[in-house]
Amino acid sequence: MSSKWTAADVPDQSGRVAIVTGANSGLGFDTAAVLADKGAHVVLAVRNLDKGNQAADRIKAKSPNAVIAVQELDLTSLDSVRKAADELRANNPRIDLLINNAGVMYVPTRETTNDGFEMQFGTNHLGHFALTGQLLDNILPVEGSRVVTVSSFGHRILARIHFDDLQLQHKYNRVEAYGQSKLANLLFTYELQRRIKLKGASTIAAAASSEELKKRVSESPASSAPSMISFARPRTPQSTFTPVCAMSRPAARCNDASSGPSSSISPAITIKRFRLPRPSAIVRTMFSNERGFEL
């Protein structure tokens, strides 16, 4: 293995099923392309089926043997999430990898999802929260399965969970709203991993975070602690390796090939421990008792 972790270091993924949300462009597309090239059966979970099919064609053009499926998924609608989850469970009895990647960023004015949630919190966190919960029945029994939720450096910017105004109805700031949604991604991963460990399952919940905040905003509807993986100097296409590494490396440790992380590698992929106080009762109430969360 080279000192810089690249797509070439991704082990064979044959026989594994990977679901990637927001896989028609950006990080999601590149992640799906790498996993498909390595032999995984990849499901592109996308809001726009036409764009999803186009993305599938681009992957197959580069990797003719790729096995790709396209699943309609609108994270702004819990009805769509429920329908997609039902179909994904039926079509994929085993799910090895779930990458919660899709999201919206910096919605200029306060907008809501179909279910009345603030757009960024509803899409980035609640949509993936609901999807994960409804797919766990097919994930937990699979040895070595993983749930990777893509956060961002935005979790540090004006970010806190507004439990007194969760939907930011009284005061809306697009940066603060994005930060809340990304912090919620990390809290979700923290608690999910805690519950998985208590259950004794081998599934790993990991949070992948790139400091590159380049999201396809124009395509949005509005215009023990997990490892958090970040880039010292993020660049494309290296940013792709963050979720791919978290999904595929045996110990979910995506630093350099030596025994410890190194800040001298550019762009460096280093491990940071995301440390939080033990989740409070109020954080745990973010989990429902619906399918999959009776851990």
Residue 92 backbone dihedrals phi, psi, to 5 degrees: -135, 85
CA–CA separation, 10 and 12 (whole Å): 7
CA–CA separation, 177 and 106 (whole Å): 8
Tokens of 101: 């990647």
List 106, 172, 178, 190, catalytic entry: 178
| Cis, peptide link before residue 267, omega less than 30° from 0 | yes
CA atoms within 13 A on the CB side of 215: 25
Q: What is the DSSP string of 170-194?
A: S---HHHHHHHHHHHHHHHHHHHHH
| Cis, peptide link before residue 237, omega less than 30° from 0 | yes
Q: Is 178 a catalytic residue?
A: yes
Q: Are the CB atoms for 172 and 111 separated by under 8 Å?
A: no
CA–CA separation, 70 and 67 (whole Å): 10
> Which residues participate in catalysis according to the annotation?
178
